[in-house]
């Protein structure tokens, strides 16, 4: 981490962009990190907050309060964050993510994520896999407001084997969702999904040529008047797959405003949407047979009667 550094732009020379000026003087960083420092106000020009496209003039005074470097640890261990362990072996660990937590930090030094809590208990997970992204050995993500089981690898060999299992669809994930309407019977949705060009951060139906393959199998578990508790099973893992497919089926998830879900009712936690990653099944990378990890349904999903039966 580069801290409390200052430069004065040379009198000679043509005007230069601020981000390029900083990159030349801080080669251990990179452009995305420089731009992030500028955006959060960690860079000033002549004592004032700078803009990322700002042009510097001779004599300008540039000051950096804090600038991340490429080799900075992406995940800061946070032993104070609570973490429920669901299963562990020599090769993998399964943990329970609460609703409201991001899965991993987006930028170096960010805290308050599942990865921060896991790094304090199993730092070896962040010495394998995608270390520069903050994912480390984490094998999949859950949306911030989705709770449930997340799987991570503890060794590089296990990470590569488990990633291969995800790629060949040998890993099955089971979700429980509280949705609008009454689902009367099982359904299968195999609509490809694509990023919505009109609404960033949202998925929409795609095509075979311009979309990601996705298949979701849904079955009703219990009805609550105008709502249903449903079980959704997937082997593909497209962003927002369950959320988008349930909305396309006409049964958006309670609390999921992005996909048109109804608001949470009395007794429900209005701060989350009602999707829970209840179980994950996969072949043991150590050859021990099939593994199934279950995450208990959290109490805040019990407002409409909940579900404490088999997942």
* Contact (Cβ atoms closer than 8 angstroms) between residue 282 and residue 171: yes
Whole-angstrom Cα distance, residue 99 to residue 103?
10
* Contact (Cβ atoms closer than 8 angstroms) between residue 255 and residue 247: no
- Which SS3 state, helix, strand or coil, does residue 116 take? helix
Which one, of 140, 164, 177, 187, lies nearest residue 293 by Cα?
140
Q: Catalytic pick from 143, 196, 209, 269?
A: 143
Which one, of 168, 153, 158, 90, lies nearest residue 118 by Cα?
153
The alpha-carbon radius of gyration of the chain (Å, integer) is 23
* Contact (Cβ atoms closer than 8 angstroms) between residue 23 and residue 58: no
Tokens standing for residue 242: 């369950």
* Catalytic status, residue 196: no
* Contact (Cβ atoms closer than 8 angstroms) between residue 58 and residue 3: no
Residues identified as active-site? 143
């Amino acid at each position: 981490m580069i801290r409390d550094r200052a430069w004065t732009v040379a009198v000679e020379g043509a005007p230069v962009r601020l981000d390029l000026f900083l990159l030349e003087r801080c080669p251990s960083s990179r452009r995305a990190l420089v731009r992030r420092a500028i955006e959060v106000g960690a860079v000033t020009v002549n004592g004032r907050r700078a803009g990322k496209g700002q042009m510097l003039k001779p004599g300008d005074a540039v000051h950096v309060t804090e600038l991340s470097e490429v080799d900075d640890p992406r995940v800061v261990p946070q032993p104070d964050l609570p973490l429920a362990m669901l299963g562990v072996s020599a090769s993998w660990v399964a943990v329970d993510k609460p609703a409201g937590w991001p899965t991993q930090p987006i930028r170096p030094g960010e805290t308050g994520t599942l990865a921060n809590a896991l790094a304090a208990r199993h730092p070896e997970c962040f010495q394998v896999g995608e270390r520069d992204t903050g994912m480390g050995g984490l094998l999949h993500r859950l949306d911030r407001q989705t709770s449930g089981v997340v799987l991570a690898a503890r060794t590089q060999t296990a990470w590569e084997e488990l990633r291969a299992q995800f790629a060949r669809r040998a890993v099955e994930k089971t979700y429980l969702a509280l949705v609008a309407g009454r689902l009367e019977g099982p359904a299968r949705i195999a609509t490809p999904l694509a990023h919505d060009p009109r609404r960033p951060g949202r998925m929409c139906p795609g095509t075979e040529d311009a979309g990601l393959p996705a298949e979701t199998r849904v079955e009703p578990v219990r009805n609550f008047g105008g709502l249903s508790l449903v079980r959704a099973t997937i082997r593909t893992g497209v962003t927002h797959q369950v959320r988008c497919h349930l909305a396309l089926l006409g049964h958006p998830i309670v609390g999921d405003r992005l996909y048109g879900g109804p608001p949470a009712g009395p007794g429900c936690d209005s701060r989350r949407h009602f999707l829970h990653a209840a179980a994950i099944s996969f072949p043991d990378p150590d050859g021990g047979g099939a593994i199934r990890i279950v995450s208990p349904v959290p109490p805040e999903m019990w407002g409409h009667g909940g579900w404490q039966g088999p997942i």
